Amino acid sequence: MPNAVAFMPWTHIDAPITVGPLRLLPYERRLHPGNLPHMSQLELDGILEAYSTRPQQKVTRGIVVEYGDWQAGMEPSSEAIGALFRAKEFLSFSALSTRKFFGTASRYCCSAEHELVVQRYSPGSIGRFAFTTRRRDGGTSQGWSSDKFAFQMPVQISSHQHLEVDIPGTCQDS
């Protein structure tokens, strides 16, 4: 089974956040988080090359997500993947609870901003990827290169959003 990285491509943070076993690391193309124990910045940039905010605009910021003993670049167990997606639901709920609907400083957010991707990859093979989608008749797998295909940010997200969650020490009162 190949290695994997978990990330949120449509939102970003400015500094690392740790809540219990959950670690959120800021991603910025070519800069952050830098080389990790099990994965290089070059591999991370290559994987995120397949995500765009708008046509021809590759994602430049995001969040790398780690949980418990599992770190980006390691082979994930099914338990680790389940824990990552449960943590994503808590993060999304927390972020949605910070919304302010009225006022001049309001910033709307929606759950689509908090999409979590667990992308498997083979170390050293960046720029090419495969994905499987479910269909009524089972599923289909496709292989692409990052220069020919990109997963695009949902249109209901107004721009690359900053993650604001209701966790003490991570939000500013406004």
Q: Write the pLDDT tens digit of every residue in 119-130.
A: 888 777 776 666
170 pLDDT above the threshold of 50:
no
Question: What mean pLDDT value characterizes the chain?
Answer: 81
| 3-class SS of residue 54 | strand
Q: What is the pLDDT of residue 82?
A: 93
What are the residue ranges spanned by the domains of the chain?
3-162
Spatial distance between the Cα atoms of 44 and 67, rounded to a whole number of angstroms: 17
* Cut 0.85: pTM above it: no
Least confident of 36-50, 70-84, 96-110, 139-153: 96-110
Say if residue 33 is preceded by a cis peptide, omega within 30 of 0: yes
Q: Write the pLDDT tens digit of every residue in 131-161.
A: 677 778 877 776 666 666 777 777 777 665 6
Q: Which two tokens stand for residue 60?
A: 């430049």
Q: Write the pLDDT tens digit of every residue in 66-95.
A: 999 999 999 999 999 999 999 999 888 887
Q: Which two tokens stand for residue 35?
A: 């080389």
Query: What confidence tier does 171 reach under pLDDT thresholds 50, 70, 90?
Result: very low
Q: What is the pLDDT of residue 30?
A: 94
